[in-house]
């Protein structure tokens, strides 16, 4: 059981006890966050970033930690999310192993990690935990909420739970509910972890760790994060140069296999398996329609209940995990609710991960949208 906490990570306390949507509560919980820029005198320039499943709060280098962050090309002075203009807060998701309370955290009542004793986690809980950070920082209003991937789900829940708290929203490759294909992939990832004998019903140790299960789970994820077009263009049918595979029947023979293996090995040493299970299932459970007071099963109609001034919704045309029609639903729903909405389907070969790597496509619309918001400060 391990937590992976970056240098410079700051912490906000959760209300204690912190009740969970599906039952149970957390004592003395915390949420990890980092900041960039300065809050202006009116307190009107705060901007919240909500992350995907695996990132930490370290979106970019800052004074407390100059190391490159997971969105380094997007966040910072002079960049699309400009810390010269905005007071930027990035929150590590509740349930993670990167600073916020989660299954790998110590239960103050037992002195041992929570493991599977951690309460069942929902996207709605993650949104409420993010609000605790803003309360800790005495932020009374947000100029914008940015949500990427799972963070897009959390952002929609945040806007629903705290109406009029934010003036605008940027939803990047997000969705209002998990689709069957995405649920199926994440189910296979969880099964790979659980069927590894070393998982041991969540009671693994550093000496007996479900490494193989995590490797397979991550490989499945990486395959869906990129598009078939990119896999083909990047690797083709290039074979490994050496004959190492000859010593292992059915071992890796292609460059793409080696890439997946290297990616998986890095991830195994940077994320806790139980946290992966909890966060993955929280995504599958999320359905904005069920959170909405309207009681409608129509996604667009439900999203129309969100009261927001303006929104930018972005998606990649090659995304198979959060397909483009889900971003179209978000745009249509927010527009139906009265928001001024810009929707852009970006021609990127990078699939779901495009917002992380295809900065040339994603940065310009984000910069334009935020530049327009400066007039509201």
Pull the structure tokens for residue 110: 């037992």
144 secondary structure, DSSP code: E
From 82, 85, 125, 319, the catalytic residue: 319
Catalytic: 247?
no
Phi, psi of 362, deg, nearest 5: -85, -30
ω into residue 17 within 30 of 0, thus cis?
yes
Which H or E element spans position 48? strand 46-50
Catalytic: 263?
no
From 58, 169, 349, 352, the catalytic residue: 352
Give residue for tokens 């209940």. Answer: 305
Q: 366: phi > 0 → left, psi -120 to 50 → alpha, else beta; which?
A: alpha
Cβ pair 175, 313 in contact under 8 A: no
Phi, psi of 319, deg, nearest 5: -75, 120
DSSP 280-301: HHHHHH-BHHHHSTT--S-HHH
Cβ pair 159, 310 in contact under 8 A: no
From 100, 105, 149, 305, the catalytic residue: 149
Question: What length does the chain have?
Answer: 377
Which residue, 202, 273, 286, is CA-closest to 22? Answer: 286
Catalytic: 319?
yes
The Cα 353–Cα 231 span in angstroms is: 13
Angle at 314 between CA 310 and CA 316, to 5 degrees: 170
Question: How crowded is residue 135: how many other Cβ atoms within 10 Å of its Cβ?
Answer: 13
Phi, psi of 317, deg, nearest 5: -65, -25
Which residue, 27, 343, 308, is CA-closest to 158? Answer: 308
* Residues tagged active-site: 149, 319, 352
């Amino acid at each position: 059981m391990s937590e992976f906490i970056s240098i410079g990570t700051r912490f906000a306390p959760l209300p204690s006890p912190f009740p969970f949507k599906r039952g149970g509560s957390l004592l003395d919980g915390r949420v990890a966050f980092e900041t960039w820029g300065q809050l202006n005198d009116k307190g009107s320039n705060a901007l919240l970033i909500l992350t995907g499943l695996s990132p930490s709060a370290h979106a970019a280098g800052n004074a407390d930690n100059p190391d490159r962050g997971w969105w380094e090309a997007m966040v910072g002075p002079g960049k699309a999310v400009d810390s010269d203009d905005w007071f930027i807060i990035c929150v590590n998701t509740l349930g993670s192993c990167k600073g916020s309370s989660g299954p790998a955290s110590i239960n103050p009542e037992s002195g041992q990690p929570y493991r599977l004793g951690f309460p069942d986690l929902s996207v709605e809980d993650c949104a409420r935990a993010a609000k605790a950070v803003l309360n800790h920082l005495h932020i009374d209003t947000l100029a914008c909420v940015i949500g990427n991937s799972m963070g897009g789900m959390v952002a929609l829940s945040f806007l629903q739970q705290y109406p009029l708290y934010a003036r605008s929203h940027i939803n990047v490759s997000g969705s209002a509910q998990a689709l069957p294909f995405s649920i199926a992939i994440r189910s296979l990832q969880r099964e790979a972890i659980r069927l590894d004998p070393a998982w041991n019903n969540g009671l693994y140790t550093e000496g007996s760790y479900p490494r193989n299960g995590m490797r397979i789970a991550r490989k499945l994820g990486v395959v869906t994060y990129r598009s078939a077009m990119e896999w083909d263009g990047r690797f083709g049918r290039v074979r490994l140069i050496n004959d190492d595979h000859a010593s292992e029947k059915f071992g890796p023979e292609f460059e793409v296999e080696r890439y997946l293996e290297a990616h998986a090995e890095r991830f195994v040493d940077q994320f806790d398996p139980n946290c992966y299970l909890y966060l993955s299932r929280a995504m599958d459970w999320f359905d904005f329609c069920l959170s909405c007071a309207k009681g409608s099963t129509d996604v667009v109609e439900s999203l129309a209940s969100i009261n927001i001034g303006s929104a930018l919704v972005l998606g990649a045309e090659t995304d198979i995990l959060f397909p483009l029609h889900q971003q179209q639903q978000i745009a249509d729903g927010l527009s139906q609710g009265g928001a001024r909405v810009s929707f852009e389907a970006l021609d990127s070969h990078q699939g779901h991960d495009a917002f992380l790597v295809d900065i040339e496509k994603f940065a310009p619309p984000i910069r334009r949208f935020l530049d327009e918001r400066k007039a509201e400060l």
